[in-house]
Amino acid sequence: MKEFLKKRKVALLSVAAGVLLCGAAFGGYIGYLQLSGNFHTVIGGQLYRSAQLSPDALEKRVRAKGINTIINLRGENPNAQWYNSEIATAKKLGVEHIDFAMSSGTVLTPERADQLIAIMKAAPKPILIHCQSGADRTGLVSVIYSQQIAGINEDVAERQLSFRYGHVAIPHLSSVYAMDVSWHRLETHFGLKG
């Protein structure tokens, strides 16, 4: 019996260590995304995505990628330092700045999605879209742009709303699941599912 309990204890400790290691790896990856600004190319020369970038990081990315438009999915916020810095950086670089407020916890309506598509079609390219973390709102908008404007295959476009970019949505447990619900409903609106 002692031997059985000893083996069981070792097995439980091994499982616990595995869970902790996976948790640390997950947390480390999410941390890396935030430290790196979660900057990614969606479609080279057309669309880039990121988290909220510092003024220096924003300037570096704008210059490196030739970005002509920034679409801020966090919405106008003139009382916040990040917002004022972003506006000043865009102005300094001669980049158009557009505010389009979204919430990662609220389903995007088809009407708002259509407004956003019109904005993105008209905006000088390349465009940088961002929200706070660059994972949820930015992911949904990347899917919409990729599929509806660039004509990318739906299955490929949907990869923009994934863990690779930090999007972790658990049905009915995570408020950011609203972005997945949004896309599911927009598929019908766009005639992708019948």
Do 58 and 144 sit in the same domain of this protein? yes
Backbone φ, ψ for residue 50 (5° rounding): -160, 175
Q: What is the pLDDT of residue 67?
A: 98
Is residue 48 located within the same domain as residue 16? no
Among 134, 155, 136, 133, residue whose Cα is nearest residue 146: 155
12 and 47 part of one domain: no
What tokens appear for 71 in the block?
A: 């679409």
The answer to the question of residue 88 being in a domain is yes
18 shares its domain with 60: no
148/74 same-domain check: yes
173 located within any domain: yes
Give a yes or no: residue 28 inside a domain.
yes
Give the separation between CA 53 and CA 18, rounded to whole angstroms. 34
pLDDT digits (tens, 9 = 90+) for 5-25: 454 444 444 544 444 444 444
Would 194 be classed as within a structural domain? Answer: no
| Residues 134, 50 within the same domain | yes
| Residue 56 and residue 91 in one domain | yes
Let me know whether 58 and 41 are in one domain. yes
Considering the domain architecture, whether residues 2 and 73 belong to the same structural domain is answered as no
76: amino acid identity, one letter: E
Give the confidence band of 3 by pLDDT, cuts at 50, 70, 90. low
Q: How many domains does the chain have?
A: 2
Each residue's pLDDT tens digit, 57-95: 999 999 999 999 999 999 999 999 999 999 999 999 999
Range of the domain at 30: 1-35
Q: What is the pTM of this model?
A: 0.82
Question: Where is pLDDT greater, at 25 or 156?
Answer: 156
Q: How far apart are CA 18 and CA 170, in angstroms?
A: 22
